[in-house]
């Protein structure tokens, strides 16, 4: 998915604030699911909640106001209760701005870890 850096996402030096990358990765993850015919709202209606258990980011190069940034999202692991995604944020020239990884645990309405049903896992490719 591609996004354009908004002024509000930059700091006093005009550089994208480090906290924005997690938001962008979340947008990339949601877009990845939509491309596979899934939405978080569908999970929640079915009683499944996907919570972040771990997040890692390595910053490589700055992004600036009005830059176009491409977020590449890959599902690295899908095992019932655990989902792991990796991300790459690239500028228009293909320069790596940041890379990251998030690990998620699936829980039910009672906050107990549960496995996603096979029909959902099969859609995640």
What SS3 string covers 7-18?
Answer: HHHECCCCEECC
**Each residue's pLDDT tens digit, 47-88:** 999 999 999 999 999 999 999 999 999 999 998 799 999 999
Give pLDDT, residue 125.
75
pLDDT tens readout for residues 95-112: 999 999 999 999 999 999
Domain 2-121 has CATH 3.10.129.10: yes
Q: Per this entry, what is the length of the chain?
A: 125
Catalytic pick among 11, 42, 58, 108: 11
Indicate whether 33 pLDDT > 80: yes
Task: Examine the residue annotation and report whether 42 is marked as an active-site residue of this protein.
Answer: no
Q: What's the pLDDT at 79?
A: 86
pLDDT tens, residue by residue, 116-125: 988 888 888 7
Q: Which two tokens mark 56?
A: 């890692």
Predicted local confidence at residue 80, as pLDDT: 78
CB neighbour list of residue 115: distance below 8 Å, 6 or more residues apart? 80, 81, 106
The C-alpha torsion from 26 through 29 and 30 to 36, rounded to 10°, is: 180
Radius of gyration of the chain (CA): 16
């Amino acid at each position: 998915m591609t996004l354009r850096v908004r002024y509000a996402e930059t700091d006093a030096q005009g550089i994208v604030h480090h906290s924005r990358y997690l938001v962008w990765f979340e947008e990339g993850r949601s877009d990845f699911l939509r491309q596979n015919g899934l939405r978080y709202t569908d999970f929640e209606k079915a009683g499944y909640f996907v919570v972040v258990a771990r997040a890692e980011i390595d910053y490589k190069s700055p992004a600036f106001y009005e830059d176009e940034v491409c977020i590449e999202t890959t599902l690295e692991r899908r095992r019932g209760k655990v989902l792991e995604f990796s991300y790459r944020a690239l500028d228009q020239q293909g320069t790596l701005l940041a890379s990251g990884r998030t690990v998620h645990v699936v829980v039910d309405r009672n906050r107990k870890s549960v496995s996603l049903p096979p029909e959902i896992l099969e859609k995640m490719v």
